[in-house]
Amino acid sequence: MDRREKITAVVFLLSFVLGAEVFSGDELENLQEKAKQYAEPTLDPHYSNILPKDYVGAKVCMNCHDSKYDSWGNHAHSQMNRKASAQSVKGDFSGVREKYGPGEILFHTEEGNYYMSFFIQEELVRKLKVTLVVGSRFYQFYIGLQVEGPEDTDHPAFTVPSKLPFGYSYLRQRWLPELYFDSYPPAEHDYDDGRSFGEYIFDDPPEFAWNESCVSCHNTFPYGLRFKGGGWKKGFPEEDIGLNLIDGTFEVLSWRQEDLQINEHDLIQFGISCESCHFGGREHSYNEKKMSFVPTHPSLKIRHEGSSQPVASDPKNPYVVNSICRQCHSAEVGRYANGAARWNSAEALDQDAGACTSQVMCTSCHNPHKSNQLGRGEPDREHHVKACISCHPKFEDSTFASNHSRHSDKVNCLDCHMPKYVQGLETIVRSHTISSPSDLSMLEAGHPNACNLCHLDKPVRWTVEELNKGWGTEIETDLSWIKNYAGSLKRPVGLAWLRSEDPVIRLIANHSYSVSEIENLPLQEMLKELLSDYAVNRLFGLVSVEKVLGRKLTRDEYDLLQTPEHRKVQVTELIKKLCNTSAKKQIMKNRR
């Protein structure tokens, strides 16, 4: 077969496997060009780490790397997805009941199995069996099947594992509907065609299929499956991935074609294990070859676009390391004006968009083999800042650093260039887009900026003046900004954020006030967020208020799952109780 025939075969087979309708016009031309570039055999025609036969499982790795295996066993990665068992299930299935929507949900066990049963006036509406658990650190979601319900038994709910509608919060020690943990689904009381979420989960069976979404970032499976289609993320940039024709075969794409989903029988193991990041280890474990940190196969090459050389397997190369993490940490989420993610799980994409993407690796700050033992809202560690200094050594001098920051040593590089304005799983976390506090797009849009996250009591005009005076920027406020600052550029930015129509900005403002050293907090404004129809805002708002008070509110004082009318009565009483002069003085005293 000559070179032209090989190229034609590549294009034909891609069209056959992925569907001829996928390629047309410019796409087909681009594919032909890529086929030309990648039609030579690899230097090692035998090495492979992307097919099912190339994977051995974490226990084989343990034989030589026992300390890393033990450490990984305590890492959240290992517990991302597990079979439901007495060891893995953390939620309270002791027979507790939660009133919600039109009925009541019973969380219980039967013969060692875990169930969520939905009742309306003591009549069973549907019964869901837990088969898998997701998560271990902050809260736990559940995957399962319907075992009883009004639908016909051939309905997918009885056979397709789906995300169940309730999760368990470790912080609250109670069951909450899953949208209390999600990033801005529809409003709770107008969730689906005018129905509330409570009505929806009683009327309809679970339909968020595990094998169409959750499976890909919570488990270990052969990298080659990412070529099946279905939008599975490959981590390494699509434009750098090329496919080779070897001996007339096209193994990477052809070994599984019957569907575009990843199913349980495709998994190497549940959870994120060694081979999620290091790829298939058979060549290393059994043939004593070096591990390749790059997906490798005779039919596959990864090269920087325009380069003739394959990317080297280098665990110290930011391109390689960050591409590995990008397989999962690349969720499609809402964005601020500067392109930074509003919600977590898009850290790799955020880093790509920042100023240091070619120099900093995820592992510069995060150890994938070692669990974070510091708890929620991990504080900065010395090596986090050292990652910055490794490229900016002049800031190791404390005098130079303070002259640049114009702050005390309580403020570090991250506070200004990776501020905390991302909604994490249970608290607000740092953005992974390395940016500047003087980013004009954020100031114009009234989005969270690093300066006012601390200086909540200052107006944006003050912020601009300080940036111009201290760092030589030449920013001018504009009357067009007023609509993004609650109608005034003279109002404290924190208050403008609390009054924003954007629920994410209100959530960030509440949190920022709760950790602020400002004495005169706008507690009444903060309490109003407990009336939000966005469940996640109410949950985060409750945590912020409790942080200010230094105690948890009882359910009699405020109950997340009550009706909007009942919550309004509760919040009115809280404002009377907590926002009078005497109560404010006591709160301020307790916070000092």
**Tens of pLDDT along 78-120?**
999 999 999 999 999 999 999 999 999 999 999 999 999 999 9
Phi-psi region of 296 (alpha: psi -120 to 50; beta: other; left: phi over 0): beta
Residue pair 438/357 in contact by the 8 Å Cβ criterion: no
H-type alpha helices, 237-353: 251-254, 274-278, 282-287, 318-326, 347-353
- 228: amino acid identity, one letter: K
Helix (H) or strand (E) holding 129: strand 123-134
Residue pair 240/305 in contact by the 8 Å Cβ criterion: yes
Residue 557 is given by DSSP the state: T
Tell which residue, 96, 50, 496, 89, has the closest CA to residue 279: 50
**Tens of pLDDT along 301-320?**
888 877 878 899 999 999 99
Kindly report the number of other CB atoms within 10 A of residue 580's CB atom. Answer: 10
pTM for the whole structure: 0.87
Tell which residue, 211, 208, 188, has the closest CA to residue 198: 188
pLDDT value of residue 37: 40
pLDDT value of residue 7: 40
pLDDT value of residue 448: 97
| Structure-token pair, residue 214 | 């959750």
pLDDT value of residue 30: 46
Q: Which whole-number Å values give the CA distances from 544 to 221, 454, 526, 586, in the listed order?
A: 39, 15, 8, 17
Residue pair 99/129 in contact by the 8 Å Cβ criterion: no
**Tens of pLDDT along 388-423?**
988 899 998 889 988 999 998 889 999 999 999 999
Q: How far apart are CA 580 and CA 589, in angstroms?
A: 14
Q: Which residues of the chain have pLDDT under 70?
A: 1-45, 229-231, 244-260, 373-379
Q: How far apart are CA 51 and CA 257, in angstroms?
A: 14
pLDDT value of residue 214: 84
Residue pair 149/127 in contact by the 8 Å Cβ criterion: yes
pLDDT value of residue 592: 76
Q: What does the chain come to in residues? A: 592
pLDDT value of residue 6: 43
